Amino acid sequence: MGLVLIVVSVTGSLLVFSHELADQLVVRRFGMIAPQETLISIDDAIESAKAELQNLPGYSLDNIRFPQRPDQPYEARLWNENELVQLFIHPYSAKVLGKFTEGENWLNITLRLHYQLMAGSFGLILVGVTGFLMVILGITGTVLWPGWRRLVAGFKIKWDAHPKRRNFDLHKVAGIIAAIFLILTGFTGFCWNFYDQTSAVIRAVTLTPSPTTPRSRVLPNQTPLPLAQLLAASEQALPGATNIYVSLPSTPDGVVRIGKRQPQEHSYYGMSSVVLDAYSGQVLQVNDSRQAALGDRILNSFAPLHFGTFAGLWSRWLYVFVGLSPIVLFWTGAVMWKYRKKTSPSPRPMANRS
């Protein structure tokens, strides 16, 4: 379990700043974007993405992400079963800058390694179970922490002591500092990897009704409305929120979901959304994190708690070091096990009896 946990935690440390790293990858590959006055409309970006789809048979346009800064491109995400292509579109000219396939973006590889060990559904289960076991280790380790008897001494490391004692001190100090954060990341990771089951349990315990599945009303000889019109309707339904992404329907009666982030939300992708009928523009569902039921608030809290965004930059840096702590805990724990392992005494030969 420790070896799996090291892989998951170290990759998690890299992913804490995944969005900043992704920006640098785009700049290195396609160059800087000079900010201009007028951003192209979401419909222009969609048209550019659909034109590029002709060169990618078997792929479909799943969603498109808005630029969050003047020097960022639109990002269209194209899927072919489990294969992702990221398509980047110039925000002022609608020109396709280029694309990243699944194997070209090391951040996507790191993400798959983080939550499924690049092993598909088996890896997903293994990482989820490991997260649950990490919660147990974190709780039992906290209960057994020897520093509860003398709090100040519990945080001291005797560097000049015997290696056995020094190793023990490193384990107990690193463990108690990282324990609560390892419990949080382990629990949220477990819940995500078994989302259908855990979300149902959370909603049942908190008496939160399961969300309904809205559908668009398909009318004969009618085409979907322009996304710019749907976007305007969503801004009236949930004013003051930042548009993060547009999720497109995959079936004729599918809906358009516009993901939004409100000022008080700590998740990069936001915790709010507006769902609209693709043909009439009718608002079918408004998911406002400020008015969410208890179960939904718990589920919404997973992203800030898992990625360390709940307290801004300092908590993200803290999570980088928390992600490295399992290396220390695994090594010191292995050394402690070595010292505690007792060799069975060899039996004494029986004296000859006359």
| CA–CA gap between residue 43 and residue 286 (Å, rounded) | 22
The pLDDT value recorded for residue 337 is 87
Q: Which of 18, 28, 34 is nearest to 109 (CA)?
A: 18
The pLDDT value recorded for residue 349 is 55
* pTM, 2 dp: 0.88
Q: How far is CA 18 from CA 23, 31, 104, 117, 351, in A?
A: 9, 19, 15, 18, 71
**CA gyration radius for the chain?**
26
For 33-78, how does the pLDDT look when each residue is reduced to its tens digit (9 = 90+)? 999 989 999 999 999 999 999 999 999 999 999 999 999 999 999 9
For 237-258, how does the pLDDT look when each residue is reduced to its tens digit (9 = 90+)? 999 999 999 999 999 999 999 9
| Residue ranges, the chain, pLDDT below 70 | 342-354
